[in-house]
Structure 1
């Protein structure tokens, strides 16, 4: 059982709680302000006993400033001391495995024993942007090659290519090769790999490899239970895990007043509507979202979206998160708060921590 994986529940929380951050940028705000909010939330999460803080890779979206998770995580490492930091996730087909091994080996050197490397196989953007990232139009090839890319990345992280392999003399630095060099000292840590998914592919692969699994319930709620069942049924014990460990992402926003929560989460719903209809932009203000005239089809989308956003007073959000955990059997809940302002997001995490009586440190 790896201490790097299993979190510890604090206060009255039934399972460990964590944070997923997209560094969202609201209308009238800047990326600089959004990233300062990320630091504030990370510090709050650490002080209140949240287990980990992950940053998601997205591209070509004006309202999301987290296109470079490794850069943001390095900044967060300089402003925190204990909380685990990671990617939720890095979209592996967008990158050469050696590059990711070097980036996250560097992060591990900056924050020893605190780095999670969550990996996904989706592009995290539209097809044209993915082609620009990969300098190739063969997008399906990247997804289909994901198990091979994962194996290659793992070998780079462990410096374990067999003799005769074309990469056997190539080393990811910082990494284990430094310990085998004259005068080298072994670093006891390496980034902990997680697989991320919103369907069954990564669930089965994570189970077969004995890796921890994180499911994107916040935007694929209908697939959560089937994917977790598939992960648990496919699980084979490994050196990393003796038994399955499943984390799920949950969209949740707490405010002091119930009506204000609805007002705040509508901004995220409108932003998602625009994204899904090819009009990505900054997160609208609550006033703009309230004044927007939804068509019947748009209203159906928003209502459906908001069904999976737990929002309300702190007690209501706690009840919703507890119910979600019971229904899914998740071993950890990772909360993402989508709202126009950084202040609303920061306040939400504070209220959720209070609702669970998480201690202050």
Structure 2
């Protein structure tokens, strides 16, 4: 009887052990809820809620220790918003962050779930982080509330003028949120789309390809792969025209809106002396308006401007690094690009604004300026 009891107990123990083993990591989770795991499934399980929690705890530990170097080691390349790695070098934690900021991060709860597509946050957005779906690593995306770097304070005019008139924000073409404008030029001129990524939407997996170099170094393609600067008719509207290189005269008379060529309209410009920005608003109806703005960050030597568009038959007259944004409402907020633009006078006396080099964030733009120009 004793042998039977012992055998039965051993069998039950082995069974329970095998059950726990088969259930895996989920059964050992103590920080995240079933609701968190269900939300992860909604996002196709690109992250594990427990891993998100642990990464947040790691961030808070480094903040608590005031370990500035290791905190920024969790950043891939550069922050989309926040201090550059070059700016924080040789500085103390207290030089960059206040005690109030530090205490707020330490007191915040470590999240198990993201704030939708934006990623995960600590302390109401003081730190945003996420998992890279392609490389599989966790990293900090942005840091708000840090000391700002006044890199271009004494070098920027308020607005870009042509023949004494301000160039409006809509003249500075950048990649749309949808990327449709650059994609149309890639398709129209057969620019190879070598960079592809797979995106899972529900049960379907779609492949999206793009010409990354063209989107980053547009000036190198103007005058060669893109021989005609008058624009193209997009696939969605044969009567409409879009351009990457708008004529300045059309910009000033209101015929260019974010790269779309249209009938002239009156554009009212406002300048903000404090921020140095030029702003405007275009409405397609009473309840549908888009705000546009730009700010000149620093000048670019015309010799460098010319090298960034070597195939364009014309002369660069002026060039700036420009922060250009638009806002159509909603929770996404302003969509900004940080790009180098050049004002070119072509041999037929036409004047055009050319996007020469485009950056995803201000930090990448500043690094480029420091490494290659200043």
The structure in which a higher percent of residues are helix is 1
- Give the TM interval when normalised to the shorter protein: under 0.3
Q: Say which structure, 1 or 2, has more relative contact order (CA 8 Å, 6+ apart).
A: 1
Q: Which has the higher strand share?
A: 2
Question: Which one has the largest radius of gyration?
Answer: 2
**TM-score, structure 1 as length reference:** 0.26
